[in-house]
Structure 1
Amino acid sequence: MTNWRAVFVGFLVATVFGIVGLVVPGVGQLVAGLVGGFVAGYMAGGSLGSGVWHGLLAGSLGGIIGGLLIAVAVGLSGLALGPLGGAVSGAAGIGIFLLAVTISIVMALESAVAGAVGAAVSN
């Protein structure tokens, strides 16, 4: 059974660390995913599989939310630029979607590994 509290807390930790990690681009987000997944796995406890599952959910939720925020920002900027901006932002939307999916997968995988470590430490 999924412990949604652990997933949400792991997501919040990853989000806070990700915002702080903007100072060190790339590395900051990597650490954020690892710490968030670890917290989710540690809070959920149980087996390694449980830690992987909870870390995976926490990391992928962060990636999905981040991708949506980027998409909204580009959409709003396209609206501000009128019809030509709408066409440009629509074309850019495909690239943004692929970037968001890639970020979500990377965050989910690293968080899953860290979640397994967190579950192992909690036992």
Structure 2
Amino acid sequence: MNTDWRAVAVGFVVILVVGAVGLSLPLLGQIGAGLVGGFAAGYLAGGTLGDGAWNGLLAGSISGVVLTLVLALLGSVLGLAGGPLGAFLGGAGVFLVGLVVTVLFAVDSAIAGAIGSWAKAR
């Protein structure tokens, strides 16, 4: 599978922008962000369905990991009010939720990436 890092970067940025706008629709906005960003990455990468899925998966995974790290840091800082244990538990809880978000972004972005590469081939 060929990785087109430009397509992955564009997909990543699209996921972040659409996800920020989609905060008003809690779950649907985030799923939509993964779909739109994955489609963009797959479309730009082109190639086979596998290439589009791979590039969409990378865009979704990277955005999920970045979001997880930011949210875990924020949870740790806010948890400082509860002392060291509160900071640890706050950060760990957000980290676990972030892992679920990462998988969600990765899966829907991979599916949309495959559709994007298929659409470009047509």
Pick the TM interval, shorter chain: over 0.9
1:35 corresponds to:
36
Q: Determine what percentage of the aligned residue pairs are the same residue.
A: 47
Residues 76-95 of structure 1, C-alpha deviation per residue, up to 9 Å, x if partnerless? 2234x3xx422112023332
1:49 corresponds to:
50
Secondary structure of the 1:46 match is coil
1:93 corresponds to:
91
Letter in structure 1 aligned against 2:61: S
Alpha-carbon separation, structure 2, partners of 1:70 and 1:86: 17
Show structure 1 runs of 5+ residues with no match. none
Alpha-carbon separation, structure 2, partners of 1:26 and 1:97: 17
1:114 corresponds to:
112
Alpha-carbon separation, structure 1, partners of 2:30 and 2:78: 25
- Extract structure 1 runs of 4+ deviating beyond 3 A: none
Alpha-carbon separation, structure 2, partners of 1:26 and 1:85: 31
Alpha-carbon separation, structure 1, partners of 2:13 and 2:72: 20
Q: Is the 8 A contact 2:52 2:114 kept in 1?
A: yes
Aligned-pair CA distance for 1:98:
1.5
2:7 corresponds to:
6
Letter in structure 2 aligned against 1:75: S
Q: Is the 8 A contact 1:77 1:85 kept in 2?
A: no
Question: Taking structure 2 as the reference length, what is the TM-score of the superposition?
Answer: 0.93
